[in-house]
Amino acid sequence: MADKIISVRNLVKNYGNFEAVKGISFDVYENEIFGLLGPNGAGKSTTLEIIETLRSKTAGVILVAGYDLDKDSETIKGLIGVQLQTSGYYPGLNLLQLIDLFAGLYNEEVDGMALLRSVNLEEKAKSQYKELSGGQKQRFSVATTLINKPKVIFLDEPTTGLDPQARRNLWELIKIINDQGATIIITTHYMDEAEYLCDRIAIIDSGKIVAMDTPDNLIDELVASGFERPREVKQANLEDVFIHLTGKSLRED
């Protein structure tokens, strides 16, 4: 197996008396797509934001590319790409100007048009963020994570609220970025998405990891335990019907 790029040991996060993350440990390997799944409030965003150096932890040890978060958080910041909160975008600027602004903050030379082209937003270069559709906004925010050519990219629910076409379009973008060498850590509530994208997933519930493996192994394990679906499985699902009827091409995504 490839080298570890992230190592989390006994991570604890308390908010006052509330234990949001209760001593979790996991590794992410270089060039993986690693999924963090779990119900709302499970502690996914807290965990990601701690690794992203945006939130303090209560206890535990985190290494990113061999750097200790407690000692080298500045170095770690330079190695990672984080999807920014949408509210963080300056309203008066267009997409190209926003990319130039971020590039300046990162001290990077970036070909803004090429970057926008890579996420299929070349035609929106002169538009403002607020003028974009949901899928376009998400593609733009993925583009901003790429500016500092990161080794690891964090995507927290990037496809929530998107229509099926826009969701699949973002999947392909994530695959391309991964193929180009980046390790991806993603959270999602869509199990089909996790199955399609993720090499391994951790399922987190009430601040604890309750399972961690490849999607295939997790499913096989459940089946081996005697689980059967209550209904006969059809050869297609409603999403297939929707895509079949409305096509795969992007509209106003």
Q: Residues interacting with Mg ion, by CB under 5 A?
A: 44-45
Q: Which of 1, 17, 40, 74 binds ligand ADP (CB under 6 A)?
A: 40
Interface characters, 5-34, with ligand ADP (x: CB under 6 A): ----------x----x--------------
The smaller minimum CB distance to ligand ADP, of residues 30 and 205, is found at 205
Q: Which of 24, 34, 46, 200 binds ligand ADP (CB under 6 A)?
A: 46
DSSP annotation string for 42-110? SSHHHHHHHHTTSS--SEEEEEETTEETTT-HHHHHHHEEEPPPGGGS-TTSBHHHHHHHHHHHHT---
Q: How many CB atoms lie within 10 A of CB 42?
A: 22
d(CA 212, CA 179): 23
No. of H helices and E strands in the chain? 9, 10
Residue 138 CB, nearest distance to ligand ADP (Å)?
Answer: 17
Q: Which stretch in 39-47, 85-93, 120-128, 167-175 sits in contact with ligand ADP by CB under 6 A? A: 39-47
CA triple 201-47-82, angle to 5 deg: 90
The smaller minimum CB distance to ligand ADP, of residues 210 and 223, is found at 210
Contact predicate 20/44, CB 8 Å: no
Is residue 45 a contact point for ligand ADP (CB under 6 A)? yes
Is residue 51 a contact point for ligand ADP (CB under 6 A)? no
Binding positions for ligand ADP, rule: CB under 6 A: 15, 20, 38, 40-46
